[in-house]
Chain A
Amino acid sequence: MSLCEAEKTFILHGVEENFRNDGRERSQYRPMELETNIVAHAFGSARLRLANTDVLVAVKIEVDVPTIDQPSEGKIEFFVDCSANATPDFEGRGGEDLAMEIMNSLTNAYKSTKAFNLSKLCILKGRKCWKLMVDILLLECGGNLYDAVSLAVKAALWHTEIPRVLSVNLDGNNVELEVSEKIHDCIKLDVTSAPIMVTISKIGEHCVVDPSSAEEQCATAAVVVAISQNRFTTILQTGSGSLHPNTLIESLTLGSQIASQLDTALIEVLQQKSGEKPIGFLL
């Protein structure tokens, strides 16, 4: 879907006026809906819907061997799948570039130990560790993918439960793990400092958060910042345009403010007692 010049002009003037097409201000987010633990066979899962953007995230766990560089750390891997249901552009290998971009940005954002502490995932130094495999499925694209994905990932990790390891036996070269037999005897991950990504698009002369897909088409450039506890973990620029240094600084400040606000809002929701009433996708 491409917009015509007149529609773009309309959006552009709206952003200048601080009154966007749906009535939002430049720094205003659309309402979101979150559902957790909806994939029964995953260790933790979440689905986030932000207007027309729909993201499903599931976390799986595997026992793996730690890398030689970080013998006392676990692993985390991201995988993004662009469903062709989201947009016809994703058909075949169409979504691969986007998927790769999101994957890389997430990997970078979670790299810092201050953002996400992997040492808790270590079972036996140098020999065994847990590997978290975070699968992200894009079900619908309505703009602002990065933010939605990062929020959904954080929510899924929040609810991820790792089986408790009771004892580790070394038998020669073999490592035997004894995992608690009780299903509910699990360890929850501490993800309060997991990074949140915020996209700031530059439309005309102004910076806008949470762009809709129409607004994304009008943006000359966009900066994605990943922020964990008021610290930047990753910054990447998307789009073809360039940014003036002042605009960059402005968008980074705005990004960090929005991220901390998003983080508080998300954690508030995650702490709410969730009843066992599955909603799923059927409206």
Chain B
Amino acid sequence: MLPKINIRLAENRVNTSVAVNQRVPKIFTPGEIISEQKEFMRGHGTYEEDVYLKASVAGVKEQVNKLVSIRPLKSRYNGEIGDVVVGRITEVQQKRWRVDTNSRLDSILLLSSVNLPGGELRRRCAEDEHMMRQYLQEGDLISAEVQNVFSDGSLSLHTRSFKYGKLSQGVMIKVFPSLIKRSKTHFHNLPVGASIILGNNGFIWISSTVSNEEDNVGGFVQNLEEVVPRTDRETIGRLRNCILALAQSKIMLYDTSILYAYEESLKYNVADLLIPEAMVDISILTQHKLNLSENA
């Protein structure tokens, strides 16, 4: 028996908004007139045309005294020093890797800002330069921290800690960077039996919990032999679908919200979480639970 195929008309689309009694701010669309130009100063996301100040991106208005700017709803990642990011290597260059971190420009990971296997502090020699592709090659996923922001907005990353490094088996999903709530730690070992890395750049990594921390050699090993057991796989799949459900309803993502969503989702099959109704149901229940715990 084959599983049922679900096709729906767009007009039967479910409303993904979970805003209850919340005022939805006015959203400006590109080209929409914000005001007469004379009275206000032109900020980010706006431009002047004729005598008007117009929005150049879709977003909400933010005003500081006379400075008007439009904050876009969806945007690329604007990095800040200290952010935890998940990225994908796009290019191996001389003494550095290029990393896609969902920013406007590719980020850079210098050979001198990684912990090389076998000894923490040692000089980078020409040998290391030749070995670069063996450490990290194109397509590899890494977790890293933003070390520096260059003047053009591109980021310099570092992985000088045991918690950063190459990522092994698991799933990466992409959400809007603005949905990731900033917190003390972005690495979580969830009690449901999976680890997640909530990258500030909107890339989220879900994997089964790593137990053998001690033989971690700078994070350049991938265990391709290991088969992730079915139970772990279900947890990872469920977390993935829950996070996507929350992201669709624009709920902030952090450990508590994800755990709540996971708990609420247990009544569904993992595959059923792809159906829009189920996704909204989980989002509403999660939002409700979050509101309750906030008020308590």
State whether B10 touches A257 (Cβ < 8 A): no
Question: Which of A2-10, A114-122, A161-169, A224-232 is near enough to bind chain B?
Answer: A2-10
Using Cβ atoms and an 8 Å threshold, which residues of chain B touch A277? 11
State whether B13 touches A17 (Cβ < 8 A): no
Question: CA A2 – CA B141 in complex, angstroms?
Answer: 10
Question: Which B residues, 123 to 171, have Cβ-Cβ distances below 8 Å to chain A?
Answer: 137-141, 167-171
Question: Which of B60-68, B189-197, B267-275 is near enough to bind chain A?
Answer: B267-275
The answer to whether B7 has its CB under 8 Å from any CB of chain A is yes
State whether B228 touches A27 (Cβ < 8 A): no
Question: CA A10 – CA B172 in complex, angstroms?
Answer: 11
Using Cβ atoms and an 8 Å threshold, which residues of chain B touch A275? 11
Using Cβ atoms and an 8 Å threshold, which residues of chain B touch A1? 88
How big is chain B's contact interface, by range? 35 or more
Using Cβ atoms and an 8 Å threshold, which residues of chain B touch A257? 2
State whether B274 touches A31 (Cβ < 8 A): yes
Question: Which A residues, 1 to 53, have Cβ-Cβ distances below 8 Å to chain B?
Answer: 1-7, 9-10, 13-14, 17, 19-25, 27-36, 47, 51
State whether A32 touches B237 (Cβ < 8 A): no
Using Cβ atoms and an 8 Å threshold, which residues of chain B touch A27? 2-3
State whether A28 touches B11 (Cβ < 8 A): no
How big is chain A's contact interface, by range? 35 or more
State whether B139 touches A2 (Cβ < 8 A): yes
Question: CA A157 – CA B236 in complex, angstroms?
Answer: 41
State whether B241 touches A22 (Cβ < 8 A): yes
State whether B269 touches A23 (Cβ < 8 A): yes
The answer to whether A189 has its CB under 8 Å from any CB of chain B is no
Min CB–CB distance A275 → chain B (angstroms): 6
Question: Which A residues, 70 to 110, have Cβ-Cβ distances below 8 Å to chain B?
Answer: none
Question: CA A97 – CA B10 in complex, angstroms?
Answer: 31
The answer to whether A269 has its CB under 8 Å from any CB of chain B is yes
The answer to whether B238 has its CB under 8 Å from any CB of chain A is yes
State whether B8 touches A33 (Cβ < 8 A): yes
Min CB–CB distance A52 → chain B (angstroms): 10
Most buried by A among B88, B169, B171, B224: B169
Using Cβ atoms and an 8 Å threshold, which residues of chain A touch B38? none
Can you show 9 pairs from A to B with CB atoms below 8 A apart?
Answer: A10-B169, A19-B234, A23-B273, A31-B6, A33-B10, A34-B10, A51-B274, A265-B6, A268-B7
